[in-house]
Structure 1
Amino acid sequence: MTYVTTERRGGTQIIRYGNPPRGFLCRAGCRELRQAFEACAADPDLRVIVFTGASDAEFIRHFDIAEIIAVGEALASGRVGPEVFEGGDFARLVNGIAKSPKIVIAAINGVCMGGGLELALACDIRVVANRVTQLGLPETRTAVCGGTQRLPGVIGMGRALDMILRGTIVDARRAVEIGLVNEGAEDAVARALEIAHELEILLPEVLAAAKACTRQQSEGALAEGYALEQRAFAQLLQDGPALDVLRAFQAQGADIATFEPPAIT
């Protein structure tokens, strides 16, 4: 199965991710996203990269729970160690976006939670379709943590802690209000392409310098923080109740937005 398709629009490349029927992010999909991004990043004729969903239902829903459970079981049995998360395709993708001299836009055209929102947070500009009803980091609902590093820099520490700890999910209107996204639009991809056109006519070396200088203050601390988050995620899967909660979620077949974790005794 192919998860990623690309489309060239002048100096802009659109990267679309799709994994029907639910739009989950998976390991193979992460690899394709990373490969597509790295190919774009190496193209000197490209100025802007736009990430979006192949379906209007999802940008990326969240990571595939079945795959997380499989990794958790491998951790619990000792077949792999916490380092399993280090240097993976997803980490390389989001870190590559932040460090790339290209300008990267997230055109959030559907549900965007967990790893999907982490990808969007790594982008330089975020546009959301007005009809989107679910953006968030609901990991704590499934007894793990994620998205802890980039969200505070986008919406502030207070709001980020509230959103992460409570697993809050917001709609497009609220996302604009709190600065989670830069703007809302009827058509997120069309608006992203308009912004891309504005950027294409500017000198690429100027944009690259402006991006690097703006991001420099936070990126150093992010590397250490991201490693800490990966270790915490692995530890919760290995030693905590996360596997039981994740299995309960999978068994219910519920939407994570409405999932009520079982009582842990």
Structure 2
Amino acid sequence: MPMEREPFADSPVFTFDRPHRGLLRLWLDTGLPQNAVTHDNHSELGRVWGAVADDEARVVLVRGVNGAFCGGGTAAFLGPLVDDHRARMQVLDDMRALIRGVTECPKPVVSAIDGYCAGAGLALGVMADVSLVARSATLHDAHTIAGLVCGDHAAFAWPLLMGMAKAKYHLLTATPL
């Protein structure tokens, strides 16, 4: 479990430790069931990568706590996005920062996915340089259940990761992996 919060002590979402020389481990811990994200902590998923890039670590490992990687947004967070254009644009900016932060990180990023993984956490998990997924993990892009298109990362990344037919099946039917 997490051992220290320094030097990233101000992060509301991540706890960091250094179990081995050169390894920076990020523990994703929102304090909510399934590590869900809210309006208050969503932007931190993208903001943290500047500090990670400047850190002396040689590799970054991202994990969840309490049996979940990240369950995505809470209903209270996602609901208002339907009618609030400004909030919706902020979430899109946050997702862009998350995806760019992970993919442009100058250090290798490894995700260790266990338990449920959806939403912004799914983007973080599968956009890592290496994604280690437990057999018991569930990857779920549920955009179509809400009547939305898969546009934050899945539409371009999933076909590259698993092939077009399988990606379309899972994204269009919202069938979990």
Q: TM-score, normalised by structure 2?
A: 0.81
Residues 213-232 of structure 1 mapped to structure 2, 5 A cutoff: none
Tell me the residue number matched to 2:3.
none
Preserved contact between residue 118 and residue 150 of structure 1 (Cα < 8 Å) = no
Q: Do structure 1's residue 32 and structure 2's residue 39 form an aligned pair?
A: no
The count of corresponding residues between Structure 1 and Structure 2 is 162
The CA distance in 1 between the partners of 2:42 and 2:90, in whole Å, is 15
Residue identity matched to 2:162: I
Return the match for 2:95 from 79, 82, 90: 90
| Aligned mates of 2:87, 2:33 — CA distance in 1 | 32
Distance 1:32 1:81 in 2: 15
Look up the match of 1:7.
17
1:66 Cα offset (Å) = 1.8
Structure number with greater CO (CA < 8 Å, separation at least 6) is: 1
For the structure 1 residues 25 and 139, does the alpha-carbon distance in structure 2 shift closer, same or farther, using more than 3 Å as the test?
same
RMSD of Structure 2 on Structure 1 (CA): 2.1
Counterparts of 1:165 and 1:90, CA distance in 2: 20
Distance 1:53 1:161 in 2: 27
Aligned with residue 125 of structure 1, among 104, 124, 130: 130
Instruction: Answer 1 or 2: which has greater helix percent.
Output: 1
* 1:17 aligns to 2:28 (yes or no): yes
Q: Is the 8 A contact 2:34 2:69 kept in 1?
A: no
How much does 1:85 deviate? Answer: 4.3
User: Equivalent of 2:110, from 87, 105, 128?
Assistant: 105
Is the Cα contact below 8 Å between 1:95 and 1:122 reproduced in 2? Answer: no
Identity of aligned residues (%): 24
User: Residue 169 of structure 1 corresponds to which residue in structure 2?
Assistant: 176
- Structure 2 unaligned segments of length 5 or more: list them: 1-10
Matched, 1:138 2:142: yes
Q: 1:161–1:7: structure 2 CA closer, same or farther, 3 Å change rule? A: same
The residue aligned with 1:197 is none
Deviations 1:21-76 (A, max 9, x none): 23212233233333333211112x211111111222x100122222121121223x
Larger Cα-atom Rg: 1
Which amino acid counterpart does residue 28 of structure 1 have in structure 2?
A: D
- Cα offset for 1:161? 0.8
Alpha-carbon offset, residue 112 of structure 1? 0.7
Conserved in 2, the CA contact under 8 Å of 1:59 and 1:109?
A: yes
The answer for unaligned runs of 5 or more in structure 1 is 171-265
When the two structures are superposed, what TM-score results if normalisation uses the length of structure 1?
Answer: 0.56
Partner of 1:226: none
Classify the secondary structure of the residue corresponding to 1:107. strand
* Equivalent-residue separation in structure 1 for 2:160 and 2:87 (angstroms): 30
Matched, 1:41 2:59: no
Q: Write the letter of the residue equivalent to 2:82.
A: G
State the 1:123 CA deviation.
0.5
> 2:16·2:25 contact (CA, 8 Å) conserved in 1?
yes
